[in-house]
Structure 1
């Protein structure tokens, strides 16, 4: 009996320590994941892409705002924002502080559902039964005000079921994207016409941008000629098991691809896929374990 009680106490202590670490420590250990990819035509200069996602910003999260504002020190040439910027009805206050230093740097963005509706309390165990579902009584967020800031103030290009072209570091970059596929807001059939309208055939790089990396979206992006794909939404699992990885992805992507850089293959083509584990979490689930909040810096170089 004494041995059993000792073992039970040890397990309980580990559980408490894990919870304290995830809630009080790791969710503040912001990090930058860096990758180098030879994707550009021969003779091209390097292109530094900053990928940010899932800030889930609340106005009181000053530590996160300050860290994000310092990302300008990475000297990005292009910013790709894969959505869920807001995590509170007043979250735009914090997003303005976080992104203001990036003003004037070209960027692409798409929406996650939390750019339209605030998070609501839910049982976190339900994530283990399948992708989360829409809460019909969720509080609306002013997505138009967010878009006005991103487009009019920062100068970024809206790729929600749309396409666009920017010039970054002297390189013509074409982008196309969809709104949140987790909520079935993606309109993949509209993309061919949008891409044609941008006259982007001479672009050196074509990127596909989505919030939620559902297979149907990733496959279609390859069909449309994406050289690289950027996504968020998964939070990298948010709680991972060391040595195993993500337990859930909240979509149908393979769990091994729920965080970081991998390759997506379809129809005889393949392209790098970067799934950001994101910078935040729902205010109702303030924990990360073995999954630090992150931004990504991808340095694209000329092919040999």
Structure 2
């Protein structure tokens, strides 16, 4: 009987070890760096800190402390692409975590987990391609997270609300124009045909979920840079294969990091998708996909684009 039971016991031990590692990886935060050549040739660099998918709970002290430390990077601009909350009482924890970053120029959009508390779901449905509400759909639940309080706190500190809005900021002497949408995963996005502001030093599109309808519209409208989150980088990545799913209609090869997006007849836009900082409390695991924030260095178009 011993040879018969050895293999199942070995598989069980391997499974337990893998699950333990995947749980531990959720606390192994990484700062990524990428260089994006989107400014006029010869421009001095502009540092942009891209934050996404914190999915904060009040007790997550390690995550909050790590986020606070990012102020030491002294970014010129903070871009927050949503899903800040994972608990009714997490609003104050989010504000403590962002800390001095809230005193810097910043912009934000919301994701579904700014509106709705996470619920237990069948993970097989996620893995087989459930991709949220289509454009123009209606979400069935009533919003139950304190998103209006969070919005008021962000705007009171000077961050721009870009949920279905255009706005602009002057950052380090450069005028930046923004187009933003509310969460496409919920079908809350209201896209328009307003072209990118060609008089600005840079036009940036900001969304939570990188659905192709949004990326296509902003590329066609002439936005050189688009920032999004939502995918968690796949959250569970297979070595030498990458993300299993993206939880939207973006291809798996662009589930995280710096890429380009282009529709026929238009110049390519740079697309940065953050793998995010957190997880749902009902799926507290990551594998080969550390939680992250990214410091984007925007450079002149005569410089190469590099990511790590």
Where structure 1 has 5 or more consecutive residues not aligned to the other structure, the ranges are none
Look up the match of 2:220.
223
Contact 1:126 1:132 in 2 (8 A): no
Q: Is 1:164 paired with 2:173?
A: no
1:286 corresponds, among 276, 284, 287, to: 284
CA drift of 1:241 comes to 0.9
Q: TM-score, normalised by structure 2?
A: 0.91
Inter-partner Cα distance in structure 1 for 2:130 and 2:203: 29
Look up the match of 1:26.
25
In proportion to residue count, which structure has more helix? 1
Contact 2:31 2:292 in 1 (8 A): yes
Where structure 2 has 5 or more consecutive residues not aligned to the other structure, the ranges are 134-138, 303-308
Contact 2:164 2:182 in 1 (8 A): yes
Alignment of 1:171-186 (within 5 A): 171-186=174-189
1:192-221 superposed Cα distances (whole Å, 9 cap, x missing partner): 2xx68xxx4321111111101011110001
Look up the match of 1:8.
8
Q: Is 1:252 paired with 2:249?
A: yes
Look up the match of 2:240.
243
Look up the match of 1:213.
210
Q: TM-score, normalised by structure 1?
A: 0.93
1:215-258 superposed Cα distances (whole Å, 9 cap, x missing partner): 11100011111111101001111111111111111100000111
Look up the match of 2:145.
141
Query: How many residues are aligned here?
Result: 296
Contact 1:109 1:157 in 2 (8 A): yes
**Secondary structure of 1:103's aligned partner:** helix
Look up the match of 1:89.
88
CA drift of 1:132 comes to 5.0
Alignment of 1:261-272 (within 5 A): 261-268=258-265, 269-272=267-270
CA drift of 1:61 comes to 0.8
1:96-155 superposed Cα distances (whole Å, 9 cap, x missing partner): 1011211321111111011111111112221012225578456611211111111112x1
CA drift of 1:48 comes to 0.2
Inter-partner Cα distance in structure 1 for 2:27 and 2:142: 27
CA drift of 1:302 comes to 1.7
Contact 1:119 1:138 in 2 (8 A): no
**Secondary structure of 2:262's aligned partner:** strand
C-alpha RMSD of matched pairs (Å):
1.7
